[in-house]
């Protein structure tokens, strides 16, 4: 049996925002999983009112990463929240390290 995936190609900019339905379609997930990710602070809509929810590209990437962790590694949503937090901290540390290296090499 072969696995088939649907690829959605779109032109996104930094100001792109997605509705709940668009986020679900791109990630290939039902809305109840988005609600669950929100309960665990994995993703956050840009507005408080459910009818006006907007998700930016950062939230899209977090949702896609969360679903890969959930599907491929069977990590639960509490674990996913922790993994994403640690990934963000690691990226921040890498950025600080690069700045320090540039500063040290400059002198």
Give the global pTM.
0.77
How would you class 10 by CB atoms within 10 Å of its CB: exposed for 0-12, middle for 13-18, buried for 19 or more? Answer: exposed
For 11-33, what is each residue's pLDDT tens digit?
A: 555 668 999 999 999 999 999 99
pLDDT of 8 higher than 60: no
Please report which confidence band the pLDDT of residue 6 belongs to, taking 50, 70 and 90 as the band edges.
Answer: low
Domains and CATH numbers, the chain: 20-106 (1.10.1660.10)
């Amino acid at each position: 049996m072969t696995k088939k995936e649907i690829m959605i190609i779109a032109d996104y900019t930094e100001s792109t925002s997605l509705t709940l339905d668009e986020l679900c379609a791109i990630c290939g997930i039902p809305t109840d999983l988005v609600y669950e990710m929100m309960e665990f602070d994995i993703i956050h809509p840009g507005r408080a009112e459910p009818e006006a929810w907007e998700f930016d590209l950062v939230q899209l990437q977090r949702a896609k990463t969360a679903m890969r962790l959930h599907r491929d590694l069977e990590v639960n949503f509490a674990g996913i929240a922790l993994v994403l937090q640690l990934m963000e901290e690691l990226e921040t540390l890498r950025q600080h390290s690069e700045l320090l290296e540039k500063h040290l090499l400059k002198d």
